[in-house]
Structure 1
């Protein structure tokens, strides 16, 4: 099944159903026609099937429509993060070798700066149909299906990884992979036909795309929020009667801090991904929303689903077991371990995911070195560590690259972070290993003080909490505490530990390392 057919068939079944909510509502019949016209406009601008189209936009309906239009043309959508700097954006554009770049009013200056260092690539703005934009060009195009044959084996989209360990890598994904991932999402998150979902996660991230495409498959209503704002999100939830949320934990924290989350009475289904969720956050969400279902989704850009924790309420933080199309195993936690080097039950190992999964990618774009590192014997190695409990459910313990060797002992940041976030004077915390003459690496906690708390006071309180309230054994207590204004994150919200470990931060308060030892 290709995504062009998915939208067309949904529109044939439910032409009058509301497809898009928010400020620019459309029925499925209208959205199908609009995306046909946009696809014809792309073709008029010289884009051919299987060529790549870079989409640089803050999001919302215009970006979603352009993504769907590319599917109808048989072109490859390449949504890029508007949070990238000019040099990183230039690298991605050059690497993708697009036939066209489409930017909006908020990103056109960034696009022009990036394109100045790239071999000539045509570009056009998206936005007001009254101006010289692709929407104006589309307005004069005929409606109706395009005379293009799109195969499920064709590339639908190429996402760029967030680059937490170097330059971003292109991840081409076929129409079949995108469709299977979306069906898996519907089954695994407990969504139903005609659900109303919130489209706030960016479309340059797999979570954003999954919410969009899964909603189209299920003939639901997709309600876009172009830029995240907690107060506006709660207004949208109430106005649109949104029934399911699929967000990263930091967004859930922001919603809770408004004090208004209890107003979201239409929300019945919760899901999260992208980072671990602490038991504290789980409890507060459950107490506030009383959801019918609460799911932890664990996967990646390359393979959408590794595992699914289907009952977050019963097992907070558990990654669960393989998804409906997945096969997962734990192997020895060293870099070149083969997929048959499985660890014994109860032992920590690195996750390996079968490439036989129908939502898997086939390899990185122009990166045979990355393929060699991550794909072995028909299995994909994302670099995550986990332990299986007696029920066979996985508990992610960190990443192979994040492991801290302190005094000859291996320490995993996740379990320390889960304890420290319970300190009431901090809002975020990340633990990394910094070079240390005595310990080799010293477990160091970078934290953001809670609003209204001075860095020095937060440091004092956290130091006391580490010793008396965290429950951490002395081996796992951070040797150093550093207050920072913010935790560095990628455009997709992933924590950039390498920036902290490389010294790329400004300290607001720093504990006396010698005292903590």
Structure 2
């Protein structure tokens, strides 16, 4: 199946059903006319079948409509992050070699600067407003290229680059369709689902929400930039039934409304992209009593690795392989064979079958990167995990993030799951910093809760760790920051901290921190009640 055909069938079935929510709603027939007009406007600029169209857009409905227009034109959508730096943007534009680049008023100046680099191929650059004016005058006929084939490339997403330069991940129409079907099955999605479209389209979660809404003939409610207060209003006004977000967004919604009392329409929750602390999962279950609460573990390369289908029962559990996939744990060694399967209960590295219809075929122009991560028909994302007595998966962390302290391996996610419950903290991330004695010192970077002084937060973290964590996992240094460095989709950028690129508000390594009372050390649930914390997905 290709996405242009899937789109046409939905429009044919429900032309008058609401397709786009928010302050400027559209029916499926209206959205069909808009995306067809944009496809014609792109074709007038010379876009042909298989050409790349780079979308450097803030988000919202214009970005979604252009993404869909590219599908109808059998072109390749290349949505790029609006938060990457100049050098990364130059790299992505030079690597993708787009025929057309589309920007908006917020991104045009940056795009002009990057697109002028000598390494970027000749192209056409247009503002989205110009394309929209051209689309309004487009003929009322199908786009000129004809429907794409299932094996044609639909979209090329760039990995977030937490460990180096972003790599292009081309994904076919068939893979995108299979991933959207899997998403609906695995999250309990229903026909007519109303979904918040706030995850950016340069990330697989954002694309998945959009395409799954098309297949379900539901309503996609756009939000160009996440704002908790605005998101809450959209939930109420549009009757949103499904939220698929990263954990930081759920935290923000709870800070906006601790009871989520107005979220009565929301029945299905899902998360990915980063770890969800058990404390957050418990608060969401208590506030919403969702019919479905799913932990999705996957990546840009293969959308689904595994699904934890019941977060309420097993917070942090990554569950079993997805409906279209196979997964196994093999020896945690470089170049390990996919046949080197570890025993029950032993920690291993995750290997996912490339036979999944959700899988990519290899990185764009990077056979070296493909060879490093794909071996004998299995994809190795670099995650470590263990299975429990029920056979369910618990992800222990990234091989890249593992801390070797005094000859022992320590995993940041387990420590973060304990420290995040400290009442004096709003956020926490753990990384290993170089240390003469330990090799790597377990270091907690914390953001003080509102009204808490940085030194007090540092001292509270130290005391909390002494109560909640075994000695090996206790931070040897605590640093207070204004904010934890994260990517546009909430992925923690530990490499920034390891490189020393931070400005401490307070630092236990710089001298004694203020004392705090023992009354702040109680925790309703110890982190030891959960075998592992799940560090997220879509890397």
The TM-score range, normalised by the shorter chain, is: over 0.9
Displacement after TM superposition at 1:185 (Å): 0.2
Contact 2:462 2:475 in 1 (8 A): no
Supply the RMSD in Å over aligned alpha carbons: 1.2
Displacement after TM superposition at 1:239 (Å): 0.3
Which of 120, 125, 128 is residue 123 of structure 1 equivalent to? 125
Displacement after TM superposition at 1:515 (Å): 7.7
Greater RCO, 1 or 2 (C-alpha within 8 Å, sep 6+): 2
Runs of 4+ in 1 over 4 A off after TM superposition: 513-516
Secondary structure in 2 matching 1:263 = coil
Q: Distance in 1 between matches of 2:413 and 2:330?
A: 20
Give the gaps of 5 or more residues in structure 2: 514-539
After superposition, where does 1:60-79 map in structure 2 within 5 Å? 60-79=60-79
Q: Distance in 2 between matches of 1:336 and 1:365?
A: 22
Which residue of 1 is the match for residue 19 of structure 2?
A: 19
Q: Distance in 2 between matches of 1:250 and 1:366?
A: 33
Q: Distance in 2 between matches of 1:21 and 1:142?
A: 26
Contact 1:2 1:175 in 2 (8 A): yes
Contact 1:374 1:380 in 2 (8 A): yes
Which residue of 2 is the match for residue 512 of structure 1?
A: 509
Cα distance change of structure 1 residues 318 and 513 upon mapping to structure 2, 3 Å threshold: farther
Secondary structure in 2 matching 1:338 = coil
Can you list the C-alpha shifts for 1:21-74, whole angstroms capped at 9, x where unaligned? 112211111111211111111011011100100001011111100000000110
Q: Distance in 2 between matches of 1:514 and 1:486?
A: 22
1:503 aligns with 2:497: no
Which of 469, 476, 480 is residue 479 of structure 1 equivalent to? 476
Cα distance change of structure 1 residues 513 and 398 upon mapping to structure 2, 3 Å threshold: farther
Which residue of 1 is the match for residue 171 of structure 2?
A: 173
Contact 1:53 1:70 in 2 (8 A): yes
Displacement after TM superposition at 1:9 (Å): 0.7
Which residue of 2 is the match for residue 440 of structure 1?
A: 439
Q: Distance in 2 between matches of 1:216 and 1:119?
A: 34
Which residue of 2 is the match for residue 130 of structure 1?
A: none
TM-score by length of 2: 0.93
Q: Distance in 2 between matches of 1:459 and 1:389?
A: 34
Displacement after TM superposition at 1:464 (Å): 1.3
Secondary structure in 2 matching 1:435 = strand
Can you list the C-alpha shifts for 1:140-197, whole angstroms capped at 9, x where unaligned? 1112323414100000000000000000000000000000000000000001000101
After superposition, where does 1:52-451 map in structure 2 within 5 Å? 52-117=52-117, 118-127=120-129, 133-147=130-144, 148-259=146-257, 261-451=260-450
Query: 113-122 or 187-196, which moves further after superposition?
Result: 113-122
Can you list the C-alpha shifts for 1:409-436, whole angstroms capped at 9, x where unaligned? 1111111111111101111111111111
Q: Distance in 1 between matches of 2:336 and 2:450?
A: 45
Contact 1:480 1:513 in 2 (8 A): no
TM-score by length of 1: 0.97
Q: Distance in 2 between matches of 1:26 and 1:360?
A: 32
